[in-house]
Amino acid sequence: MKIWVLFHGPLDTDHPEAYECLRLKEEAEKLGASLEVMSAEDFDLVIDSTDEWRAIYRGDYIDPPDLIIPRTGAETSYNAFSVLRFYESLKVPILNNWLAIETVADKLHTHQVLAARRFPVPRTILGKFPPDLDLIENKLGFPVVVKTLRGTRGGGVFLSESREQFKDLADLIAEANSSVHMLFQEYISRSHGRDLRAFVVGSKVLACMERRSSDGGFKSNISRGGTGSPHPVTPVIRDLSLGVCKALNLEIAGIDLLIDSNGFRVCEANSAPGFKGLESYCNVNAAREIIQLGLAKGKPRQSFLSRFQRRLAA
C-alpha cells in the first residue's frame, strides 16, 4: 500500500513536527506499506473535464496514493486544501478529511459547532477592535484569554490579567492590524497551567495525558517546555472526546480539555496532533495505531498506466 503524509515544512529534526512524520514512516514500513512525505506546495493541479486528469508533483504527473494522512493542521494552506479536495474527489481515503481540518483550524467555528451540540466550552467572543470593554467584563470577566483565530503549539495565546492590561493589549493589536481576527475567551482558573490531552484514533481514545506548565505560566503545552504524565481514560473523558470527534468529523484528533469545577471544558480540537510527548509519557505507539487505522480504510489502487493498458486490451 502506498501512503502519503502531506506536510508543510522541511523534514529535518529541527522542525517541531518532523518527529511525527518520521515515526509514521517507520511504523508504515514495519507494517509492509510504503510512505512518502509530500509537500503540499509542490503540487500543481490542472483542472479539466476529462476522466484522466491528474496532479503534477515537482514537474511530473503522479499516480494517486492509497491513503493520505495530512499533517498540516491549523497551518493548512489554500494549496493544501485544494490538493486534499482533489484526492477526495478521486475517492482516496484521507485521515482527516479537508472539511474537518478546515473546521478545527478555525477556533471560533470549532466552538460554534460544539456549543450548538451542547458540549461544554469556555464562553467565547469574536474580537473586534476597538473592543467593547464593558461587554468583555460583563460576559467573560478578568482575567481573560486572548487568542488568535488560528494557532498551534500554544502560540498566539495570551492571558490578560486585568481590564487595564487588556485595554493596553487591544490598543497595541489595533494599532498593528485592526482587521486581525482574535478571540476573547473565558479564563478557567482551576485549569491554570494544566490541561488534559486525549488522543483519539478511530473509535477509541488511545491515551490521555495531563500536561503541566513548568514555569508557573498558564500554558501547559509540551512543545513550550511543559511536562506530561499519564492520566486515566475515564468514561467521562472517553465519551466527551469521542463525542467531540464525531461532531467535528475527526478520525484522528487531539482533544484538549480544561479542568473545571463541574468537570471539563473542551478547549480545542487538533486535526494533526503531535504525539512525541504522548508516546514518551504514556508508553503508547500512536504512530502504529494511526497507520493501522489507515491500512484498514485504504486499499491498493490501480495505477494510471495499468488502467490505460487495460483499456487498450479491451
pLDDT of 195: 94
DSSP 189: G
Written in H, E and C, the secondary structure of 73-134 is HHHCCHHHHHHHHHHHHCCCCECCCHHHHHHHHCHHHHHHHHHHCCCCCCCEEECCCCCCHH
pLDDT of 309: 42
pLDDT of 73: 85
pLDDT of 179: 72
Instruction: Please check whether residue 313 lies inside any domain of the structure.
Output: no
DSSP 180: -
CA distance 144 to 124: 10
Instruction: Please check whether residue 116 lies inside any domain of the structure.
Output: no
Domain containing residue 203: 190-270
pLDDT of 49: 76
Entry pTM = 0.89
pLDDT of 304: 47
For residues 10 and 96, membership in a common domain is answered with: yes
**What letter represents residue 40's amino acid?**
A
Of 112, 264, 286, nearest to 200 (Cα)?
A: 286
∠ CA 225-229-233, nearest 5°, is: 130
Q: At what angle do helices 286-297 and 18-30 cross, to 10 degrees?
A: 60
User: Which residues share a beta bridge with 212?
Assistant: 194, 227
pLDDT of 13: 62
pLDDT of 312: 41
For residues 128 and 159, membership in a common domain is answered with: yes
Contacts with 203 (C-beta within 8 Å, 6 or more apart), sequence order: 242
Of 73, 68, 104, 66, nearest to 83 (Cα)?
A: 68
pLDDT of 225: 66
For residues 169 and 198, membership in a common domain is answered with: no
pLDDT of 134: 95
Asked if the peptide bond before residue 70 counts as cis, ω within 30 degrees of 0, the response is no
For residues 80 and 8, membership in a common domain is answered with: yes
- Rounded to the nearest angstrom, the gap between the alpha carbon of residue 220 and the centroid of all alpha carbons in its chain is 17
What parts of the chain have a pLDDT lower than 50?
304-314
End-to-end CA distance of the chain: 27
User: Which residues share a beta bridge with 281?
Assistant: none
pLDDT of 152: 64
CATH number (domain holding residue 89): 3.40.50.20
Burial class (CB in 10 A: 0-12, 13-18, 19+), 292: middle
Instruction: Give the HSE-up count for residue 253: Cα atoms under 13 Å, Cβ half-sphere.
Output: 32
Count structural domains, the chain. Answer: 3
Q: CB atoms < 10 A from the CB of 252, how many?
A: 26
Contacts with 154 (C-beta within 8 Å, 6 or more apart), sequence order: 219, 221, 223, 224
For residues 93 and 167, membership in a common domain is answered with: no
pLDDT of 151: 65
Instruction: Please check whether residue 278 lies inside any domain of the structure.
Output: no
Taking the CA atoms of 194, 241, 269 and 65 in sequence, report the sign of the dihedral they define: positive
For residues 84 and 10, membership in a common domain is answered with: yes
Query: How far is residue 101 from each of residues 10, 81, 180, 239, 313, measured CA to CA in Å?
Result: 21, 9, 21, 21, 42
